[in-house]
């Protein structure tokens, strides 16, 4: 969208680990969620350090690289061990090295001082959309334009399809009375890490509250 619609993109942080800080993971989520959300928080600490050092213009490349490393990979034989690796300093250092960035920044994954920044920006996002949301949250035409959670999609669109989809989302969001368009049935995302290759369609699952949340 940045290229097709000539947008200027700014970056804020939102952490699912922070969003669920008062939730008992063992009773509310499948077992892999806590490790995944914690790994995400550790990557955000590094992103916060990089943003402080190099500015917001550095965020786009890092976001893309994190996404590719986490999701555009074959499924692991042991996904529990893999999720632990995803938040490790070594894993993050490899990503930074691939971008030509200082690998010492990976150590910031253990720096809890960045959590105050991440929590403040997570609260900022919730203030724009309300508390019953997840990621991503997109705000456009700030400070007075609409903000929304999503769009949540399961298949990778072509560039033309992406523009068409985005324009439709913006048109809906610009109607001031618009609040939600939703269904809980979702295909497993078209990502190699989930065993769904480009061109394939993932199995349909029924999600609750924006995630595969479960209650005992």
Q: What is the pLDDT of residues 27-53, one digit of tens each?
A: 888 888 898 899 999 999 999 999 999
**Highest CATH level, class, for 16-206:** alpha beta
Helix axis angle, 89-98 to 79-86, nearest 10°: 60
CA atoms of 73 and 33, how far apart (whole Å): 18
State yes or no: pLDDT of 64 exceeds 90: yes
* Confidence category of residue 215, pLDDT binned at 50, 70, 90: low
Q: Which residues of 199-214 are buried (b: 16+ CB within 10 A; e: fewer)?
A: eeebeeeeeeebeeee
Which residues 6+ apart lie within 8 Å of 19 measured at CB? 122, 126, 134
Coil, helix or strand at residue 90? helix
Q: Please answer whether residues 105 and 49 qualify as being in contact, where contact means their C-beta atoms are separated by less than 8 angstroms.
A: yes
In this predicted model, what pLDDT tens digit does every residue of 74-124 receive, in sequence order?
A: 888 887 788 788 889 999 999 999 999 999 999 999 999 999 999 999 999
Calculate Rg over the CA atoms of the chain.
18
For residue 147, what are the contacts with CB-CB under 8 A and spacing of at least 6?
125, 128, 129, 137, 138, 139, 140
- Each domain of the chain, given as residue ranges in start order, spans 16-206
The confidence score (pLDDT) of residue 61 equals: 94
Mean pLDDT of the chain: 89
- Reported as a pLDDT band with limits 50, 70 and 90, residue 6 is confident
Half-sphere exposure of 205 (CA within 13 A, CB side): 13
- Which residue has 């996002």 as its token pair? 125
Q: Summarize pLDDT for 158-195 with one digit per residue, the tens.
A: 989 999 999 999 899 888 898 888 888 889 899 999 89
Tell if the pTM clears 0.85, that is, is over it.
yes
d(CA 93, CA 106): 5
For residue 139, the cross-strand partners are 147
Q: In the prediction, which pLDDT does 216 show?
A: 47
């Amino acid at each position: 969208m940045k290229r097709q619609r000539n947008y200027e993109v700014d970056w804020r942080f939102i952490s699912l680990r922070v969003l669920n800080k008062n939730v008992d993971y063992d009773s509310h989520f499948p077992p892999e969620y806590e490790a995944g959300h914690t790994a995400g928080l550790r990557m955000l600490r590094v992103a916060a350090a990089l943003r402080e050092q190099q500015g917001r213009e550095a965020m786009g490349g890092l976001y893309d690289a994190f996404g590719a490393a986490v999701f555009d990979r074959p499924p692991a034989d042991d996904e529990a061990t893999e999720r632990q690796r995803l938040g490790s300093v070594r894993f993050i250092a490899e990503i930074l090295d691939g971008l030509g960035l200082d690998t010492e920044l990976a150590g910031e994954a253990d720096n809890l001082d960045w959590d105050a920044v991440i929590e403040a920006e997570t609260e900022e996002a919730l203030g724009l959309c309300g508390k019953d949301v997840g990621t991503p949250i997109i705000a456009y035409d700030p400070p007075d334009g609409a903000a929304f959670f999503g769009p949540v999609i399961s298949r990778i669109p072509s560039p033309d399809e992406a523009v068409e989809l985005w324009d439709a989302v913006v048109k809906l969001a610009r109607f001031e009375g618009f609040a939600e368009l939703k269904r809980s049935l979702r295909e497993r995302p078209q990502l190699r890490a989930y065993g769904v290759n480009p061109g394939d369609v993932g199995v349909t699952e029924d999600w609750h509250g924006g995630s595969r949340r479960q209650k005992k």
